[in-house]
Structure 1
């Protein structure tokens, strides 16, 4: 298992997050649309910072990590919202070429225990492997990639990116998020250079093709990857070469679960990059994911240092 160190290299950033950044339009209330020109009433609507990578980056910065986000963002009203929100949260945006596309947007139809999402990809798939240069990697201690299945060009070169990161002393983590096509193309080559894989239970089973989470995790741990699984209201479970653990979440009044998994990721990364054990980091992740559900959107109620006794 690759060793995480508190100061592995002299770097500008503790973590470089790579992936998607877009607004989320959150709709709550009577949120199951009916065609036939039926009009229904909502109880709330919020336009907030979204994208798995952007929410993770915001959570990392909130927990004290020097954080950069590499994402493609358009020069339009949604892009300006993204830039403004990241600046407010002390995240350095390293904007990649969006290739003329509009900034992406996700509409979230949210209920207390579930949600549906409609996404306009826009600039989200514009990232390419060439955007993640060796010089950029050298500015960070750790690299985290999110929303892999929304970024096919980046995915095609990610194994080489992670391989190069490992050569220069970086650790790497991956959260694929859901595959909208539900084809779940193999990421075996990428996982060979991934220190930590951060799926939820359904993603873990879909990616491995195995029905039991323990068996699915074991199949990845055999290749040297640590698996840290989001386990809903139960908190978290983790498996690594030579060990396993579980951690409970925290009981809260749930308003919205959007971005909870991304805040979970931030809790884990903040703990590990500050020198905590895997067991402690899994505990931080579970609590950070729980606390983020206290408000609408992925960033409004993210955990701060005092919440996790940093």
Structure 2
């Protein structure tokens, strides 16, 4: 019996979420906001909390500083039932993201701080053996982790565990190392733009076919349209759920949590995709990535 169902690896930091008149106008113009919330952020942290809310025994491997932002991360992650496996950051301040949120879009300004401190060697064999599944988030915000993740994921699979990856967007546009990592990835969880960028294909179907040939299951988030999945031998789609959207921050991470929870309790891919689209949609009902995340009661109906 393993200690955890899922070990999430990646970023954990606060998000300062601003709403209202958020498009900056320089020249010392003062603008008025309608809301400002300091909430738990980081794709990995939001995914981990979502998994815990759906009943998974969840651990989070992340670098967090010894400062007020780090204290917020530790408090909120622990309160959600996630076991934090902290990595020493060597005095580096905890990262933070400022999110300028509009109803249909958002802009993000990130101070990397401790986000870049995680190394692939921090994913030890002991940690791998403690869990059934390893999920990695925000690959390109963590270059020291990304450079050795292919080897780390190979160790995960050699030890009989499964893997999943959500790269998020690569700000450099290079998408370095991703093909090597995907060779050892059971489930790839991009959005539509990321899927096309990774492969260079003209359509999601062509991109997915290229990856599925290597044995990877591709689960593509497609915004309000829902999601699609392709795997060796099949494909399916699921619609999104109509809700009154307050903020889309972290919706993709909550989607990941829904998918992982369904798969790890034994559901097939179509049902897992339904859980994922529902979890992603429901998370947009409140500000921040974790405030309105789905529970098992929301998904099992």
TM-score by length of 2: 0.99
Query: Who is 2:3 aligned against?
Result: 12
Q: Which runs of 5+ in 1 are unaligned?
A: 1-9
Query: Who is 1:303 aligned against?
Result: 294
Distance 1:185 1:167 in 2: 23
Query: Who is 1:234 aligned against?
Result: 225
The aligned runs of 1:1-310 (5 Å cut-off) are 10-309=1-300
1:236 Cα offset (Å) = 0.7
1:101 Cα offset (Å) = 0.9
Query: Who is 1:5 aligned against?
Result: none
1:168 Cα offset (Å) = 1.3
Aligned-CA RMSD value: 0.8
Write out the 4+ residue segments of structure 1 that deviate beyond 3 Å after TM superposition.
none
Distance 2:20 2:133 in 1: 40
Distance 1:82 1:48 in 2: 9
Distance 1:270 1:169 in 2: 19
Distance 1:142 1:68 in 2: 10
Q: Which runs of 5+ in 2 are unaligned?
A: none
Distance 1:254 1:138 in 2: 39
Check the 8 A contact 1:186/1:207 in 2, yes or no: no
1:112 Cα offset (Å) = 0.5
- Deviation per CA, 1:246-280: give whole Å up to 9, x if none: 00111000000000000000000000000000111
Distance 1:194 1:210 in 2: 19
1:169 Cα offset (Å) = 1.1
Check the 8 A contact 2:147/2:177 in 1, yes or no: no
Distance 1:265 1:110 in 2: 21
- Count of residue pairs the alignment pairs up: 301
